[in-house]
Amino acid sequence: MRQGDLDLIIEGGWLIDGLGGPRRRADVGVAGERIAAIGDLSAVPARRRVDTAGRIVAPGFIDVHGHDDLMFVEKPDLAWKTSQGITSVVVGNCGVSGAPAPQAGNTAAALALLGETPLFDSMGDYFDELRVRQPVINVAALVGHANLRLAAMRDPTAQPTAEEQSLMQRMLADALEAGAVGFSTGLAYQPGGMARQAELEGLAHVAAAHGAMHTSHIRNEGDEVEAAVDEVLAIGRSTGCATVLSHHKCMMPRNWGKSRATLANIDRARAEGVDVALDIYPYPGSSTILIPERAETIDDIRITWSTPHPECSGEYLSDIAARWGCDKTTAAERLCPAGAIYFAMDEDEVRRIFQHECCMVGSDGLPNDAHPHPRLWGSFTRVLGRYVREAQLVTLEAAVAKMTSLPARVFGLAGRGQLSVGAWADIVVFDADTVVDRATWEEPTLASIGVEQVLVNGRQVFPAAAGMPRPGKILRRVPDAAQSLP
């Protein structure tokens, strides 16, 4: 490359390279889709220059836990991602994904998390559709275990026959060969909750053989959280499959503090050689489908959407039940299918889990919800504003690493998550003194402030402009990606 070939120089900012080291003054030169130069580029010609004096220049954030699978079709601008600096997302979490589609007659309530678009017959078909539509950010996809059961089993609530188990494993292998980075389980939902260890280990063996991974919404995040964590660790231990514990939490006041034990068990597994990481979203409330069985056990439940009663979106279940003159369980049953936010977590515990060295950040945002959890629009800027600047839980450099190079290593996203010569030019520019989330429980779709510019593969995606390209790519897993630059 000749020096005059630079398309863009981001100059004058404080560079945080994503690898955990201290910030430094440096310019970043971009040529095409890659970072071509870093340093003092004041004398280097470029087609365009951007002054970022006083701002932080960092790798674009990687959202390791998204449910945007069908949003690339339905709401392709993904403003809730780009406005908080996210340049890559991992979709297909909690056992549900855009493919494969269920066989006729099979369905699952958790599929409602994804959107209205019909599911695709195969991950290959899903990726083909994404390529045609051109995603605005990069996307890595997991294949959902619930999808595999729904597509392979005549009765997905039963135990698989030997033939059905074999078919699930072949379908998983096909998805991995098409480009999926692994598979996810949603063991707290049906039909995933019916799976026993042999079924899960069979799938994990397939993933491990392909250099892929297993992420899990564990079976229980309340009274049995320790056993549920151990179950997933045991699968990783017995199969050698890289593992991620999704949105780790301990729900209900009587279980607050149990993360000390679960994190200790994770550390022991890591010391034994198990490749395991975890993620959180930085809020004390969880969000998923409305589960009537939880109605009487959790005091504060807020409805995010309801098919039969859309007018109840944003209301508390207790208020709805009082208005209808019934108990909360009956009200929940009448609202279903529906979604809800459950306020049953401890903020201090969320913060403790966040500080663990192998903890990443995932929004777990549900863009299909009528009244979504604010984590959809604010998770990453909330970390920067509330956890770093205000609470000083970790340094800014450490927080950026948790949102960039750590997920790039865990998910094997080569050339992502760091600012270095040769890396992909996924870049976010933000004001460390003002960046913060604005989305609230009452107004959950307010965009963050403080993020000033976002580039994906060298092209600006935020602030958005008419006619702006969609430069995202489908990302494959490359083991040992931390050492891998194209």
Distance CA 145, CA 121 (A): 15
Q: Using one digit for the tens of pLDDT, what is the confidence trace for 227-237?
A: 999 999 999 99
Nearest Cα neighbor of 341 from 248, 441, 245 is 441
pLDDT of amino acid 479 = 78
Which CATH fold would you assign to the domain 3-59+420-468? Answer: Urease, subunit C; domain 1 (2.30.40)
Nearest Cα neighbor of 305 from 28, 159, 113, 43 is 113
pTM for this model (two decimals) = 0.96
Q: Using one digit for the tens of pLDDT, what is the confidence trace for 10-45?
A: 999 999 999 999 999 999 999 999 999 999 999 999
CA angle in degrees (0–180, nearest 5) for 462-66-365: 80
Strands (E), 145-269: 182-186, 213-217, 242-245
Distance CA 208, CA 212 (A): 5
Nearest Cα neighbor of 169 from 141, 210, 129 is 210
Distance CA 193, CA 197 (A): 11
Establish whether the linkage from the previous residue to 463 is cis, with ω within 30° of 0.
yes
pLDDT of amino acid 469 = 87
Sheet holding 427-430, edge to edge: 24-25, 14-15, 56-59, 427-430, 451-456, 459-462
pLDDT of amino acid 1 = 40
Distance CA 68, CA 325 (A): 37
pLDDT tens for the chain, 486 residues: list them. Answer: 444 589 999 999 999 999 999 999 999 999 999 999 999 999 999 999 999 999 999 999 999 999 999 999 999 999 999 999 999 999 999 999 999 999 999 999 999 999 999 999 999 999 999 999 999 999 999 999 999 999 999 999 999 999 999 999 999 999 999 999 999 999 999 999 999 999 999 999 999 999 999 999 999 999 999 999 999 999 999 999 999 999 999 999 999 999 999 999 999 999 999 999 999 999 999 999 999 999 999 999 999 999 999 999 999 999 999 999 999 999 999 999 999 999 999 999 999 999 999 999 999 999 999 999 999 999 999 999 999 999 999 999 999 999 999 999 999 999 999 999 999 999 999 999 999 999 999 999 999 999 999 999 999 999 998 888 899 999 999 977 544 433
> Which residues have C-beta within 8 Å of that of residue 458, sequence separation ≥ 6?
7, 8, 30, 31, 32, 33, 34, 424, 425, 471
Distance CA 61, CA 427 (A): 8
CATH superfamily for domain 286-343? D-aminoacylase. Domain 3 (3.30.1490.130)
Return the domain boundaries, the chain. 3-59+420-468, 61-285+344-411, 286-343
Q: Number of helices (H) and strands (E) in the chain: give both, helices first.
A: 14, 21
Instruction: Supply the DSSP string of 276-318, one letter for each residue.
Output: EEEEE-SSS-EEEE--GGGTTT-S-EEEEEESS-GGGTT-BHH
CATH superfamily for domain 61-285+344-411? Metal-dependent hydrolases (3.20.20.140)
Residue showing tokens 């040769």: 422
- Do 61-285+344-411 and 286-343 share a fold? no
Neighbours of 442 (CB within 10 A): 10
Distance CA 308, CA 51 (A): 52
